[in-house]
Structure 1
Amino acid sequence: MTQSISVPNRGSVRATFIAAYSAVTLAQITNALPGALNGTFAVEFRTSGAGLTWIAGMFMMGIVVFELSWGLLGDLFGRKKLLYAGAVVSVAGSVLAALAVNTEMMIAAQAVGGIGAGILFPISLSMIAAITPDHRARARVIATWAGFLSLGAVISPMLAGLTSQAFTVAGPVAGAPNIFSGWRVAYYIAAAIAVAVLVIAIKAKDSAAAEGRKLDLPGQATLALGLIAVLFATVQAVDAGFGSAEVIASYVLGAALLVAFVVIEARTKQPLIHLSLFRNSAYSITGVVAVTGMFAFLAVCFSTSVAVGGLALAEAWKVGVLFVFIQGPAFAFIPVVGWLIHHAAPRWVLTAGFAFMAASAFWLSSFSLGTPEAFGGTPWTAFIPPLLLLGIGFALTVGSITAVAINTVPPQHIGMASATTNLLRDLGFALGPVIGSAIAFGIGASVFAGPLAGILGGVGLPAEAVAGLSNVPPLGFLSGWDGVIAQFTGQAAAGGAPAQAVDGMAKALGSAQQQIQGVAGTSLGQGFQAVYLAAGIAATLSAILTLFISARSSAPTLDAIAETTEANAEAAVQA
């Protein structure tokens, strides 16, 4: 285990704890904000399916691709410096998000914010671990740190909903956003918290542990670029289709880079990931369920945000309330989960948690989606019971995964086992909205094509106009109707159609707006039903797989948990 070295007589222990707890709360607030606002983004930015997926997934990508390196950089150059860097980057990401007026700006803001949070998660934990030498005391400190992280997950949706409701002010020009109102205020508040973290951290203690540490640049580069290429391909497939040249090329490139990563890790002396861990079948199973189980969780979160906020057009505060039921149990049940992990085999806690998540997803898949409540759609309050089940399942699984992992490997490997499990878990988080979008928007477009052609033909549009509009995805008709009309009339005029004929076709299309949007909503609703079903299947498989983990995965000791977290604090993100 690498020993941390603190700078003597400089900085305050109390300031260090306050800065660390504030930093992890901030990181989780910015992490969870898009989940409660996806529906709002779909309507305000008139984004495509791929654009909405990038907004949801880009933040997690910023965390995942560099997760194993930030803590190491803190060890090498000083953790306090990295905390400063994370706070500054978080300020930039939050302000950029608040100022975003289109999808592209929000995606860029999410990328910056994800990097900031990716720094703050591990660095905040390693700073307090370094100043708490007693193992049992360190375990209590870690539990408190996890509590503040869960608190951030509860604050975030409430903040999104309340600011959307209380600070909505029209822009100076009709149709233009007011960059100082609504949900944007939530991001300004996040930026203010980041500034406060910077101020508090001035008096915090610094620490480092550079001895014997070395950055695996080839491994980091191939892992980051490989994951980015694969995720890019999956997101682009939402709009372009899996058969498009750019999607296929990106998958091939990503696969080649990930193979190169495996080769590099097998040969380097100080790898990011010890591949020998996966020779242990019990650990391999834990790694698989870390991905599939957390995919199920975030796929349900993403689907709920879009289905309730984007398709059912519920106000942002209602979506925020739903997310409190999702995230709240992870905070409220900290003492319960801690007791269970220490008094029962964690694999049984894990199995029970995945079973709750599966029940939630299957329940939600039976809901009628895609129609606003005012027109007979599912009431938003009906989502509360199944989402509470999801939240309970998440509370039981998110910490238990690491607890199981460290008890399936020899003691000398528990640090790397913890770090690798955290990476796989966060990869599952990133895949939730990405794969969920590919399923929902792909199925939605397939279901929508036939009824759309019938509606357009029924209002008298010529065959070539019907063919052109059939390429517009259902989300485009819902969130960007004016853009559809402009695109249609522009293409018709460019094709040589007389102005009178173009106006007539535009009026015919406008007369079918309500019918088209109704079909678009229900088509996408079927797509998100399929996502819920896929999440339920993934959670069920995860619950079954955990039953095959060796019985030696018994309750870990406080010392083992503390040793694990200190050894690889850079990746111990309990998100």
Structure 2
Amino acid sequence: MVSTPAYDPPAASAEAAPTAPARHTGTIVAGCLAVCLAQIGLVLPAAINGEMQRTLQTSGAELTWISDAFLVPAAVLALTFGVVGDRYGRKKLVVGAALLAAVGYLVSATSDTPAQLITGQAISGIGAAALFPASLTMITAITTTPAARARGLASWTTALSLGAFIAPLMSGGIVEHAPFQWAFGVTGVLAVITAVAAWLLATESSAPEGRSLDWPGQITIAVAMLALLYGIIQGPSDGWGSAPIVASFVTFAVFIAAFIVVENRSAAPMLRLTLFRIPAFAASAAMAVIGMLGFLGGAYDLSIRLGVIQHQGPFEAAIPVMIIQACTPFIWPLLVRLLHRIGPGPMLVTGFLAMAAGQLWLRALPIHETALLPMLGPLILNGVGFGLVVAAITAAAVNVVPQNLTGMAAATTSLVRDLGQTLGPAVVGAVALGMAAGQLTGSLADAGLTPKEHGIASAVLHEGGPLALHTADLGPLSAKLAPYTTDALAHGYNNGLFLTAAACVTAAVIAAVFVGFRRGGTAPAEAEGSAA
């Protein structure tokens, strides 16, 4: 239970100002466009991982960084942008963030090296770090009744999934006829359109009372998250016992402890740690990290299976991702009813278990299975589970805090969700590539290669990892190596799916224990002291 508020809730604020119906609708539309854009950027690399790897000749770690360069700032900066939106206005933040994302997509669209593409992704990710919490808080600020809140959250969740549906369709279709850089260029145009729409349609809202930029908190959480992700992503290639990797994990532990100390002592923290005394809020944070690790880790695993191991074309690799993300828009009316009538608990348990079942089912399919029909079952289970989970996590976190703290709650939800999504590819990549490299090291010795061939294969494996060896054009040697690299990668990434399914089951258990199956759960909290 949250006690001893740091400031008294204002009698009237921009959060509760009456809004004309047209502006109310316009704000929801603008918020949905913003989160749709942010999610397009997040999912964009999934369908073209294989094309980017072949065009730029990336290593396994570089390929992971291309996705995580977008996700890292989204996770690290979400809390700070939550404060910025509360203080200076969510509408202005959405407009500026969309324009910044457009700049990042321009950098990516002109890239011809992994480093430039990673840089562009990082700039776009900073924009997304603002778009996720600001778009959500714009909507929660004007939906103050249970029914309106349920419709608003379901609309935001549907737009998020719609973005994830559009991304592979767009990128896969473009890359069939043009270089992969064009996919980033088109997304940049969508970012400019989003900025204009938010400026024209949205109502401004803010809640500046008691909120200030917390630079010590931001610096400590940023260093902690960057150190953690660096260690996980670079561990397989640098060696888990190497000095840089050990130092990165030590740095994470030191700075996460410093963040907790700083936030407890701050008069106006970016994150009130007392919010975690609310069981549903704390459980939502844990579920978001673990569950989204499971979901996006599974999606990343699927993209590698299709685009890199099976060498499917960008559009063919995009279709399964599209099926997963198409489920949420189709079940939008159901999401509204479920949020309003039964609450988030049953949705969370069902959704996480559905994702776990889908990933285990996908794991059971032969690695050479390229037909779409055998994959429909696991794809639909993942898609329906994702829709249920994202809507319910948001509701479980935002609706148990007072209205004047929804900005902080929304930013925290974005941070932990994006942290989980960032960890997904990093953890799956680390586990899968580590296992594949270990298996290949042994199998090359028994592959009947000449000393020269063995030297070439070992050098490519050492420099670029298993993915590079699988996709390298080594002439007749590639044909000799293909069965071994395919088997090793299949072994590694199948174990990655087992890991992501276990994460989803863990999240389901947390939901069952701490959120439960009580009815209701979309009514906003009315007073700070009422949150329990």
Answer whether TM exceeds 0.5 for this pair.
yes
Aligned with 1:214: secondary structure?
coil
Amino acid at match of 2:506: L
- Which range is displaced more, 126-135 or 542-551? 126-135
2-side partners of 1:126 and 1:275: how far apart? 19
Question: Quick check: 2:303–2:317 contact (8 Å CA) kept in 1?
Answer: yes
Change (3 A) 1:187 1:527: same
Match of 1:211 in 2: 209
Shift of 1:529: 0.3
Distance 1:416 1:234 in 2: 28
Q: Is the 2:343–2:392 contact (alpha carbons within 8 Å) kept by the matching residues of 1? A: no
The CA deviation string for residues 135-161 of structure 1, in whole angstroms up to 9 with x for no partner, is 754553443333333222221111112
Counterpart of 2:349?
A: 351
The farther-off stretch of 470-479 and 387-396 is 470-479
SS in 1 for 2:240: coil
Task: Write the distance in 2 (CA, Å) between the matches of 1:412 and 1:206.
Answer: 15
**Residues in 2 aligned to 1:476 and 1:98: alpha-carbon distance in whole angstroms:** 23
1:531 maps to 496
Structure 1 match to 2:462:
471
1:541 paired with 2:506, answer yes
Does 2:175 align with 1:164? yes
Shift of 1:415: 6.8
CA–CA distance in structure 2, aligned partners of residues 84 and 414 of structure 1: 20
Q: In the alignment, what sits opposite 1:63? A: 74
| CA distance in 2 between partners of 1:228 and 1:58 (Å) | 10
Deviations along 1:383-409, one digit per CA (max 9) or x if unpaired, are 332111111111111121233346777
Q: Which amino acid aligns with 2:97?
A: G
The answer as to whether partners of 2:460 and 2:468 remain within 8 angstroms in 1 is no
What is the TM-score normalised by the length of structure 1? 0.81
Of 290, 293, 304, which aligns to 1:292? 290
**What is residue 106 of structure 2 aligned with on the other side?**
95
In the TM superposition, what are the counterparts of 1:44-443 in structure 2 within 5 Å? Answer: 44-130=55-141, 136-137=147-148, 139-165=150-176, 168=177, 181-204=178-201, 205-279=203-277, 283-369=281-367, 371=368, 377-405=369-397, 419-443=411-435
Equivalents in 1 of 2:215, 2:299: separation in Å? Answer: 34
For 1:514, which of 479, 489, 501 is the aligned residue? 479
What is the CA distance between 1:517 and its match in structure 2? 2.9
Q: For the structure 1 residues 443 and 200, does the alpha-carbon distance in structure 2 shift closer, same or farther, using more than 3 Å as the test? A: same
Contact 2:157–2:387 (Cα < 8 Å) also in 1 = no
> Per-residue CA shift, 1:345-380, capped at 9, x if unaligned?
5222211111111111111222332x5xxxxx5435
The one-letter code of the counterpart of 1:36 is A
Deviations 1:517-561 (A, max 9, x none): 33112211110000001111111222233222264854114444x
Contact residue 342 and residue 519 of structure 2 kept, 8 A: yes
**Which residue of 1 is the match for residue 45 of structure 2?**
34
Distance 1:49 1:523, change over 3 A: same
Shift of 1:196: 2.0
- CA distance in 2 between counterparts of 1:414 and 1:124 reads 12
- Contact 2:437 2:466 survives alignment (8 Å): yes
Report the Cα distance in structure 2 between the residues aligned to 1:125 and 1:463, rounded to whole angstroms. Answer: 54
The one-letter code sitting in structure 2 at the alignment partner of 1:395 is: G
Q: Distance in 1 between matches of 2:239 and 2:290?
A: 23
Within 1, Cα distance between the matches of 2:394 and 2:47?
27
CA distance in 1, matches of 2:252, 2:423: 15
Unaligned runs of 5+ in 2: 1-8
- 1:149-202 C-alpha deviation (Å, 9 max, x unpaired): 32222211111122122xx2xxxxxxxxxxxx2433332221112222333344
Deviations 1:282-326 (A, max 9, x none): 654443222211111011100000110111011111121111111
Q: Which deviates the most, 409-418 or 64-73?
A: 409-418
Q: Deviations over 1:438-488 (max 9, x none)?
A: 011000001111111233x63243987776566242212123346xxxxxx
CA–CA distance in structure 1, aligned partners of residues 197 and 362 of structure 2: 43
Native 8 Å contact 1:325 1:387 kept in 2 = yes
Q: What is the distance in 1 between the residues matched to 2:481 and 2:194? A: 49
Q: Which amino acid aligns with 2:32?
A: Y
Q: What letter matches 1:533 in structure 2? A: F
1:458 maps to: 449
| Separation of aligned partners in 2, 1:445 and 1:102 | 25
- Change in Cα spacing, 1:6 to 1:77, as seen in structure 2 (3 Å) is farther
Q: Distance in 1 between matches of 2:83 and 2:398?
A: 20
- Distance of 1:7 and 1:418 partners within structure 2: 19
The change in CA–CA distance for 1:137 and 1:545 in structure 2 (over 3 A counts) is closer
Which residue in the other structure is 2:14 paired with?
A: 4
Contact 2:301–2:497 (Cα < 8 Å) also in 1: yes
| Runs (5+) with no aligned partner, structure 1 | 169-180, 372-376, 483-509, 568-575
Distance 1:135 1:543, change over 3 A: closer
Query: Which one-letter code corresponds to 2:419 in the other structure?
Result: L
Determine helix, strand or coil for the equivalent of 1:399. Answer: helix
Query: Which stretch has the larger CA shift, 141-150 or 44-53?
Result: 141-150
Contact kept, 8 Å, 2:158 with 2:387, in 1: the verdict is: no
Cα distance 1:213–1:20, how it changes in 2: closer, same or farther (>3 A)? Answer: same
Residue identity opposite 2:337 in structure 1: W
TM-score normalised according to structure 2 size:
0.87
**Any idea what the Cα deviations from partners look like across 1:185-221, whole Å, max 9, x if unmatched?**
3322211122223333443554443333211111111
Bigger shift: residues 229-238 or 82-91: 82-91
**RMSD of aligned C-alpha atoms?**
3.2
Would the alpha carbon gap of residues 23 and 446 (structure 1) be closer, same or farther in structure 2, given more than 3 Å must change? Answer: same
Who is 2:4 aligned against?
none
**SS of corresponding position for 1:556:** coil
- The answer to whether the 8 A contact 2:53-2:63 is kept is yes
The 3-state SS of whatever aligns with 2:452 is: coil
**Higher Rg:** 1
Give the stretch that moved more between structures: 124-133 or 471-480: 124-133
How far is 1:80 from its partner? 3.6
Which residue in the other structure is 1:492 paired with? none
Q: Which moved more, 1:149-158 or 1:355-364?
A: 149-158
Q: Give the SS at the match of 1:398.
A: helix
Asked if the contact 2:356–2:502 (Cα under 8 Å) also holds between the matched residues in 1, the reply is yes
Q: Determine helix, strand or coil for the equivalent of 2:200.
A: coil
Deviations 1:258-293 (A, max 9, x none): 110011112112222232344455654443222211
Describe the shift of the 1:197–1:393 C-alpha distance in structure 2 as closer, same or farther (beyond 3 A): closer
Question: Relative to structure 1, is the Cα distance of residues 191 and 471 closer, same or farther in structure 2, using a 3 angstrom cutoff?
Answer: closer
The more displaced of 298-307 and 274-283 is 274-283
